[in-house]
Amino acid sequence: MAGRFGRAQGSRGAGERVVSADQLTYAFGRGSLRKAVLSEITLTLTAGEIVILEGPSGSGKTTLLSLIGALRSMQTGNLQVLGRELLNAKPAHLRQARSQIGFIFQNHNLLDCLSAWENVSTALRLHPEIPKRDYRPRAIAILNAVGLGDKLDAYPENLSGGQKQRVAIARALVNHPKLVLADEPTSALDSQAGRDVVDIMQRLAREESCAVLLVTHDNRILDIADRILHIEDGRLQP
């Protein structure tokens, strides 16, 4: 399906397997309170592709994203993310996996007391090998890429919803992750701001050849996807 929406094919690293889930099943609660949320999910994501995951509220989208993002421990099945098996992974390995992933949430989750570039730099702090003197230049480069070169020192309260979400994208991408997980990144935005945000994600994903898994039920942005997965009641629809 790549190409239908004008996405470049064959970019650097494209085709590499970034996520591979096999028979992944997950439940909340125990005993009589146990509630199955994900059932036998099997999927792969390869470098360079943008995959949209859509489905009704409560269908398990966020839970699946949090498992792939190593934000929650696996229960059953297998899940390889960036070459690492997450089933039974030790906390240090989960942390390591998380540091390799870019996260974008519905509500930007910026820290109000930090300026735009300082918010971006919080992601760099996860990587002790990056010298502190590189923080500002790296943050500036990525904020320029999302069109916020003139807002480097602005605080979140002085940014629009779309601008805040662009700072969040910059924070997610500043480490050049091979995997970006975005949970309803446009749902709090008006349609123009939402369009700008996904266009930027698409352009940067293409340039960096990273895989993007984007959860949404915003049908205004479905056209950026190479593939669309539908989930209902915790099952991917064929």
Residues found near ligand ADP in the complex (CB under 6 A):
28, 37, 55, 57-63
Q: Which residue number, 103 or 117, has a Cβ lying nearer to ligand ADP?
A: 103
Place of tokens 């910059």: 170
In the complex, minimum distance from the CB of residue 61 to Mg ion, in angstroms, rounded to a whole number: 5
| DSSP-assigned letters across all residues of 135-155 | HHHHHHHHHHHTT-TT-TT--
Interacting partner of 59 out of ligand ADP, Mg ion, none (Cβ under 5 to 8 A depending on kind): ligand ADP
Place of tokens 């360079």: 48
Interacting partner of 83 out of Mg ion, ligand ADP, none (Cβ under 5 to 8 A depending on kind): none
Residues 138-167 within binding reach of Mg ion (CB under 5 A):
none
How many H-runs (helices) and E-runs (strands) does the chain carry?
Answer: 6, 10
Beta-strand pair 50-54/227-232: parallel
In the complex, minimum distance from the CB of residue 23 to Mg ion, in angstroms, rounded to a whole number: 22
Q: Which residue number, 62 or 165, has a Cβ lying nearer to Mg ion?
A: 62
In the complex, minimum distance from the CB of residue 27 to ligand ADP, in angstroms, rounded to a whole number: 9
HSE of 25, CA atoms in CB hemisphere, 13 A: 8
In the complex, minimum distance from the CB of residue 157 to Mg ion, in angstroms, rounded to a whole number: 26
Residues 54-73 within binding reach of Mg ion (CB under 5 A):
61-62
Hey, what's the torsion of the CAs at 237, 51, 173, 156, to 10 degrees? -70
Name the E strands within 29-124.
35-46, 50-54, 76-81, 84-85, 101-104
Q: Which residue number, 61 or 164, has a Cβ lying nearer to Mg ion?
A: 61
Q: Which residue number, 62 or 209, has a Cβ lying nearer to ligand ADP?
A: 62
